[in-house]
Amino acid sequence: MKEKNNTNKRSRLRYNLMTVLVYSTGIVLLLQLFNLQIIQGNEYREQSNTRLTRESTLQAARGSFLDRTGNVIANTQAATKLELYKTKIDNETLNNSILTMINVLEKNNDTYIDNFPIAINPYAYTFSSETKLQNFKKEYDLAEETGPEEAFYKLKEKYEIKQESPEEIRKILIVRYEISENGYSSTKPVTIAKSISNASINELGERGAEFPGINMVADPIRNYCLGSVASHILGYVGPISGPEYEERKDEGYNANDYIGKTGLEYVLEEYLRGENGIKQIDMAVNGTTTGEYISKEAIAGCDVVLTIDANLQKITEDALKTNIEKIRNGGFGSSSEAKGGAAAVMNVNTGEVLALVSAPDFEPQQFVNGISNSKWDEYEEGNALFNRAVQGAYAPGSIFKMVTAVAGLETGTITTTERINDTGIFPYGHKPRCWVYNDYGYGHGWLNVSDAIKKSCNYFFYEVGYRMGIAMLEKYASYFRLGQKTGIELPGEVSGTVAGETNSKKNGEEWYLGDTLNAVIGQSDNNFSPIQIARYISILTNGQKVVNPTLIKSIIKADGTEVDKAEINSFVNEKLGLTEDTEEQLDIKSENIQTVLEGMKSVTYETGGTAHAVFRNFNIEVGGKTGSTESNTGDINAWFTGFAPYDDPEIAVVVLVENGGHGWYTAEVARDIIGEYFGMNMNEVKEDMTATGYTEEIR
């Protein structure tokens, strides 16, 4: 019993001690709470009211484009963007701060965003359309008859601008207008300038107290290292548009982002873009920055290694431009208003595109910060943004005759040795004439199929078409994948059309013998892109292997790993809406192919060949074919297509000049391209790509 009483005493003692402890702790907590809320409450409330934490986007560097040897074609350069957050200051302080900030930028020759739609000296609205002007007046409560000067001073009054100089007023209105159009808050800035100099960075930083809400953030800018080289392949980036932002804002885009607009910049946007980071910024309410730290690192976009060779691309571009000018200036004896052109160089065995050119070209850099109206008008006038190599469909003329020859030989319509007598005027259908009869008044005489290719004899192929009919020609044109998209990784590729009853029925038209006679020489409804012709010549020369043109050699992630090629193909096909090739594979007899190729060799190497004058002293054996055909607009488009070397083909070359006159005029471009390619190969230079973190052997 005594032991039990002792136990009860000990329990009551523990309970009493715990009660005292809890009571004491409560007193301490109450005292601390009293101290925080009552004694120091004003101090903490003041700190809370004068400190804001904002998030700023760390823009990820866009992935680079490299050529097959590691040369950088496009990358990102370090730049600093100037932003402004909303702070608790009055209009006068804001306006004075804006004016001082713009003056600093101007002093250091920095450009800034200027979308304000009223010019001064003289006063004028700068809207591109009447609709935009009316929307502006409605938005700012201006009467319909309000002129630009009156509107200018009404906005001065609206924003309580006290300055009197029109130049100073306009500088302030530029930023106030930008704020009005895009909005800003204590957490969402408005962009003032997209790339400022170190001089401005230093001065704005040193005088930070004068610029409430200012923020300077690293913002990589797209840089096209080689100017206009490969412009139609790369495309360009530009400021994201309103509709693009609405479509992609859930993917992490913001209203001030850049986005791929055309070319591979558009197609591979998801790979190139990278993943933005986040920087936390501590600011006082008066806009002064009190601290910064990175809460999430930015991850750079993937680098894209292209199949093209930048040097060969440049040579091809220069050769085509020179050729167009030479044709315009009568350098071949007669002149024509050559308008533009295209060229393609492709590995016949792999489909890798080594050069792809459209002329005129453009400078992608012009679009990065928004293209000027004058430059846009210049590009519009020359249709410079149109990729003629991929988006243009042209009647092929005589470069199609190899299809007719193969079809005739394979169907037994003709043999490799049979000779047909070209008398000048074909006696059937609409009695078309051979070109030589039109020029000289006589025919080519007796020719076999190789000779007919050599001399580009229309009469010979009229006879083949007359005997064979159109159905077989359609079949073999489809075998060479003409009239079909090649699947090259560029937007806007055209399918073109194969002339024949299939296309005519689709259009509700009758097909006649005269149509067949036109079709066999590459006219009628035949229309193909230069890249399709490059694939056709590749299939013809590589042992009948169907190859698909490609511009992408590999895509390298920021961590150095390579994206699976199947993934790339699937992604591109889905984005461009491409489908699998299901065309029939035909087995052409090797002797028939050889007969056609011999005809192409005689075009360049035998007297009487239509391109012999261009290649007669050339030290590389080339097979080729010239062509010219009248377009719907009356232009005589000029073609040359060829392959080299003749005995073991490596590359196919296609050249087109719009309104170029004669096909052999364009053969000079192919000669320069082939000479450069084999000069490059003979050097057997192995390019070291260690500077970019990649290694690749290039032949």
Residue 288, pLDDT score: 63
Alpha carbon 36 to its chain's center: 61
543 lies in some domain: yes
- Confidence class of residue 12 from pLDDT cuts 50, 70 and 90? low
Q: How many CB atoms lie within 10 A of CB 121?
A: 8
The edge-to-edge listing of strands for the beta sheet with 340-347 is 353-359, 340-347, 651-658, 636-644, 623-630
What pTM does this model have? 0.80
Residue 693, pLDDT score: 35
- Supply the DSSP symbol for 240: P
How many helical (H) and strand (E) elements, i.e. helices and strands, does the chain have? 26, 22
Residue 27, pLDDT score: 47
Give the span between the Cα atoms of 107 and 230, in whole angstroms: 36
Give the span between the Cα atoms of 390 and 344, in whole angstroms: 10
Residue 10, pLDDT score: 52
Total residues found in the chain within this entry: 699
The pLDDT of residue 33 is above 60: no
Average pLDDT of the chain? 88
Q: How many CB atoms lie within 10 A of CB 106?
A: 13
440 lies in some domain: yes
Rounded alpha-carbon distances, angstroms, from residue 334 to 338, 340, 554, 630: 12, 17, 46, 17
Residue 285, pLDDT score: 61
Give the span between the Cα atoms of 522 and 524, in whole angstroms: 7
Residue 52, pLDDT score: 66
Tokens of 319: 């050769």
- Of the given ranges (293-297, 519-523, 524-528), which has the lowest mean pLDDT? 293-297
Peptide bond into 360 cis (omega under 30): yes
Residue-wise over 586-596: b if at least 16 C-beta within 10 A, else e? eebeeebbebb
- Sequence-distant (≥ 6) Cβ neighbours of residue 269 within 8 angstroms: 259, 260
The pLDDT of residue 79 is above 90: no
Give the span between the Cα atoms of 565 and 556, in whole angstroms: 11
Rounded alpha-carbon distances, angstroms, from residue 630 to 76, 152, 331, 360: 44, 55, 21, 21
The answer to whether 194 touches 257, Cβ cutoff 8 Å, is no
Give the span between the Cα atoms of 533 and 389, in whole angstroms: 10
Give the span between the Cα atoms of 428 and 260, in whole angstroms: 54
Peptide bond into 122 cis (omega under 30): yes
86 lies in some domain: no
What mean pLDDT is predicted for residues 94-100? Answer: 96
* Higher pLDDT pick, 39 / 172: 172
- Confidence class of residue 183 from pLDDT cuts 50, 70 and 90? confident
Give the span between the Cα atoms of 196 and 479, in whole angstroms: 56
The pLDDT of residue 362 is above 90: yes
Residue 242, pLDDT score: 82
Give the span between the Cα atoms of 406 and 519, in whole angstroms: 15
272 lies in some domain: no
Nearest-CA neighbor of 689 among 72, 272, 63, 230?
72
- Looking at 140-241, list the stretches that DSSP marks H as alpha helix, in order from N- to C-terminal side: 148-158, 166-182, 198-206, 231-234
The answer to whether 342 touches 394, Cβ cutoff 8 Å, is no
The pLDDT of residue 15 is above 80: no
Tell me the pLDDT tens digit for each residue of 621-666. 999 999 999 887 788 999 999 999 999 999 999 999 999 999 999 9
Residue 691, pLDDT score: 34
The pLDDT of residue 41 is above 70: no
641 lies in some domain: yes
Tell me the pLDDT tens digit for each residue of 415-460. 999 999 999 999 999 999 999 999 999 999 999 999 999 999 999 9
The pLDDT of residue 225 is above 70: yes
- Confidence class of residue 21 from pLDDT cuts 50, 70 and 90? very low
What mean pLDDT is predicted for residues 40-48? Answer: 46
* Higher pLDDT pick, 587 / 312: 312
The edge-to-edge listing of strands for the beta sheet with 221-224 is 221-224, 72-77, 65-66, 303-306, 552-556
**CATH number of domain containing 337:** 3.40.710.10
Domain count, the chain: 1
Tokens of 211: 């610029």
What mean pLDDT is predicted for residues 218-247? Answer: 92
Element (H, E) at 470: helix 470-479
Give the span between the Cα atoms of 109 and 111, in whole angstroms: 7
- Sequence-distant (≥ 6) Cβ neighbours of residue 302 within 8 angstroms: 63, 268, 271, 272, 274, 555, 556, 557, 558, 563
Radius of gyration of the chain (CA): 35
Task: Name the residue range of residue 340's domain.
Answer: 310-375+386-690
606 lies in some domain: yes
Tell me the pLDDT tens digit for each residue of 523-580. 999 999 999 999 999 999 999 999 999 999 999 999 999 999 999 999 999 999 998 8
Tell me the pLDDT tens digit for each residue of 335-345. 778 889 999 99
116 lies in some domain: no
Tell me the pLDDT tens digit for each residue of 235-268. 999 988 888 988 988 888 877 788 999 999 999 9
The pLDDT of residue 672 is above 80: yes
- Confidence class of residue 186 from pLDDT cuts 50, 70 and 90? confident
Tokens of 492: 């806007």
Burial class of residue 137 in the structure, from the number of CB atoms within 10 Å of its CB (0-12 exposed, 13-18 middle, 19+ buried): middle
Residue 690, pLDDT score: 31
Give the span between the Cα atoms of 460 and 543, in whole angstroms: 26
Residue 250, pLDDT score: 87
485 lies in some domain: yes
Residue 363, pLDDT score: 97
What mean pLDDT is predicted for residues 20-47? Answer: 46
The answer to whether 486 touches 531, Cβ cutoff 8 Å, is yes
Question: Which residue matches tokens 């050729």?
Answer: 323
* Higher pLDDT pick, 541 / 292: 541
